[in-house]
């Protein structure tokens, strides 16, 4: 199975264009004001309007009002909503479109509970950080992630880059991987060489050529 790739924290059309050229499956736009990668509705809509029709756009939100999420989703034309805060399960089914729910893999992480989430909610396993909410450059425990991946499809995030993505895929077997800081020059500014190397390493891992 081919591992899908999401590049998160897109802030520039040039970075989005390169990601598409390299075959990335989804682009993430962060709408949480507390992130250094935050974009406005207008910025995201400008970038999204030039994307091919089969590239997904994911909006990342942290404990934000549902009405705001719906406004942004409609204005940008988002394919999916990623909830990266402490949103309760009752809110997961209320977002427009498909729901990705980020969960921090740390103290108190309950793999069995995540495995039992509704089929329509996609778990994204990330490093636990209640302040920065992702993009930390810290890896999760891949053994824990692998245990969840054996029970349902997951998206693996947290500290991924070209140097470790091959091993991460081999050990966890995620449906998709999510990268931000691991392909950046600085927050929100992607590095073409790092991005290209990351995509190439994912393809190599899928082919069984783990470095």
- Catalytic site positions: 8, 126
Q: What's the angle, vertex CA 39, arms to CA 199 and CA 71, rounded to 5?
A: 110
C-alpha distance from residue 110 to each of 105, 114, 157, 173, 183 (Å): 9, 6, 17, 19, 29
Strand bridging mode 98-105 / 155-156: unpaired
Residue 97's CB: how many other CB atoms inside 10 A?
17
Q: How many CA atoms lie within 13 A of 6 on its CB side?
A: 28
Among candidate residues 18, 23, 17, the one with its CA nearest the CA of residue 5: 23
Among candidate residues 108, 126, 134, the one with its CA nearest the CA of residue 176: 126
């Amino acid at each position: 199975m081919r591992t899908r790739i999401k590049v998160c924290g897109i802030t520039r059309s040039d970075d989005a264009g390169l990601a598409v050229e390299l075959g990335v499956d989804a682009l993430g736009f962060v709408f949480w004001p507390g992130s250094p990668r935050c974009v406005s509705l207008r910025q995201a809509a400008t970038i999204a309007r030039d994307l091919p029709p089969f590239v997904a756009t994911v909006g990342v939100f942290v404990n934000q009002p549902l009405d705001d999420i719906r406004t942004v989703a409609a204005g940008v034309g988002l394919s999916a909503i990623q909830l990266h805060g402490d949103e309760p399960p009752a809110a997961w089914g209320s977002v427009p479109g498909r729901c990705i729910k980020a969960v921090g893999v740390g103290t108190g992480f309950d793999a069995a509970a995540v495995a039992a989430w509704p089929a329509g909610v996609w778990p994204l396993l990330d490093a636990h950080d209640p302040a920065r909410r992702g993009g930390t450059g810290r890896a999760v425990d891949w053994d824990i992630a692998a245990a969840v991946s054996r029970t349902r499809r997951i998206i693996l995030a947290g500290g991924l880059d070209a140097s470790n993505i091959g091993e991460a895929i081999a050990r966890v077997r995620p449906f998709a991987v999510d990268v931000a800081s691991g392909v950046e020059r600085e927050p929100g500014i992607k590095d073409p060489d790092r991005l290209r190397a990351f995509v190439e390493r994912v393809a190599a891992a899928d082919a069984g050529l783990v470095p």
